[in-house]
Structure 1
């Protein structure tokens, strides 16, 4: 059993595709196929089921997958431990929602990059469900979640900071005079929402559903900056993290409508899979993130 066979197995398992795995590793597809066949012969069991162009792990393959991840991470850590250099090297893949990429996360990445300049950082933007899938399949090392405080049985999570959501509109909106925005007030308003899957959109929709309020007019946008600009231009009311609109509130471009419906109670959480091997690179990222965001 060779390390290149284990790496081939792990890459095929993560990509569910032999040709894609071959491209990522720089091998011919026939070489990847041979390495997997040799592993299966040595182990005396089938590791993958072939379903057309897609491959999925068998039960035995899933069991082996857990051990292979640990073996390869231990090998990487061993190399770092005996290296003559004390400088961290390697890579880390981070999952985060667009809202955090536009607000809190740059501070973390800047500080981490300053302390560990030889570590390559890869950022994958997605939703909560994306992060669960990616963490399970080891496509990312760690994720930042923006949602109500959640405990997941397969994750180790840390709650870092409360992150309030507020309702905003342009200056002069008629509802400003009301002194507080309730769910019923949104029924006849244009509401600017983030894309489906966004955590605070899901929370808002649940709040409105519980209040028997259903939005008549919705503008759906996949960018925080675009949502702000549409609200500033007077297209409607939007719900965003306060940190994302602080400058616009200070300048008077946007006004807080003072939401008095059910509270969002959103927080930022940091998490990784419970079976994840904590390499020095990942430990350092966890430490820096807790230091930067946990002290906010």
Structure 2
């Protein structure tokens, strides 16, 4: 049994099939198949079973994954033992919310890539709850998302910044439809979102429910930029963080609806397993993130 066999098995599980794993690791299909055969001989139980036309990992084999990840971390720590004067290398996998990646993290990523060009950086765009699951399963190095409930003491959570959100509309949006303060209304306007389970989307849904306000259809676009374009073209309204629409509001392309009873904040956090080794790459990224976010004061309002 060697690390190459273990890594091949983990990559097959991650990629979902032998061929994609072979391509990822730059192996031939026969070579990676041979490694799995050798590993099965070592562990004395089948790693995969054929279900229909697919080869799926057995329940017993999946128990190997946490051990393989731990071995990989230990190996990376050994490589970094004498790395004080060496360039930062290795890999870093981050799952992050779409809006944060698009509007907040760009300068952080730019500085990180310029400072550590040899780090293999992998970014996954997920909603908050998907990021949570990946962190809890220890599938990623770091999660960056809006704070939601669900973490226990095994997860290290750090609050980074707080942002305000509002309900956005086109300047052409009907004046008759703009009043969301009054209770018991039926409105024809559509509500656009990029994730119906998103934190700020849920805030607005809860407000509408509390006020007994019915709206038109919900439009799911799964793209912040597409939502902004749709709002600008008066296809509907959308609840969004202010930093997403700052430029469009200044240009008069988007306007914020004045809703007295709707004032909400969202908190950006970083999260990772408490027992996870903080690699030089991860430490550098967190340092850059904290330094740059200090320069951007957080915004808070009373809820």
- Give the TM-score band, short-chain normalised: 0.7 to 0.9
Q: Which residue of structure 1 lines up, in the alignment, with residue 149 of structure 2?
A: 150
Q: Decide whether aligned partners of structure 1 residues 265 and 150 sit closer, same or farther in structure 2, where only a CA change above 3 A counts.
A: farther
Partner SS state of residue 268, structure 1: strand
Q: Distance in 2 between matches of 1:22 and 1:177?
A: 56
- Deviations 1:201-222 (Å, cap 9, x if unpaired)? 2443344344443422344333
Equivalent residues in 2 for 1:174-213 (5 A)? 174=175, 181=181, 187-213=187-213
Change (3 A) 1:54 1:141: farther
State the Cα distance separating 1:225 from its structure 2 match.
Answer: 2.6
User: Which digits, 9 at most, give the CA deviation of each residue in 1:10-60, with x for residues without a partner?
Assistant: 21232342332222112233332332232232233444444341423424x
Deviates more, 1:226-235 or 1:92-101: 226-235
C-alpha distance in structure 1 between counterparts of 2:17 and 2:84, whole Å: 38
Q: How much has 1:176 moved relative to structure 2?
A: 9.3
Bigger mean CA offset, 131-140 vs 191-200? 131-140
> 5 Å matches for 1:1-296?
1-52=1-52, 53-59=54-60, 61-82=61-82, 85-135=85-135, 140-146=140-146, 148-153=147-152, 155-171=155-171, 173=173, 174=175, 181=181, 187-261=187-261, 263-274=263-274, 276-293=276-293, 296=296
Cα distance in 1 between the residues matched to 2:244 and 2:120: 27
What SS does the corresponding residue of 1:156 show, helix, strand or coil?
strand
Deviation, structure 1 residue 73: 1.7
Q: Give RMSD over aligned pairs.
A: 3.0
Distance 2:172 2:35 in 1: 67
Deviations 1:94-153 (A, max 9, x none): 22222112210102112222332332323222223432454466654322112x443423
Separation in structure 2 between the aligned mates of residue 183 and residue 288 of structure 1, nearest angstrom: 46
Deviations 1:210-246 (A, max 9, x none): 4443422344333323322332333332211101111
CA distance in 2, matches of 1:111, 1:28: 36
Structure 1 length as normaliser, TM-score?
0.83
User: CA 1:175–1:278 in 2, change beyond 3 Å: closer, same or farther?
Assistant: farther
Q: Quick check: 1:190–1:219 contact (8 Å CA) kept in 2?
A: yes
TM, length-normalised to structure 2: 0.81
Structure 1 residues 177 and 221, CA gap change in structure 2 (3 angstroms): closer
Q: Residue 175 of structure 1 contacts residue 181 of structure 1 at CA under 8 Å; is this kept in 2?
A: no
Residues 13, 234 of structure 1: alpha-carbon distance in 2 compared, 3 angstrom cutoff: closer
Unmatched tracts of structure 1, length 5 or more: none
Closer, same or farther: CA 45–115 of 1 in aligned 2, 3 Å: same
Mapped contact 2:203–2:264 kept (Cα < 8 A): yes
- Measure the CA separation in 1 of the matches of 2:251 and 2:242: 14
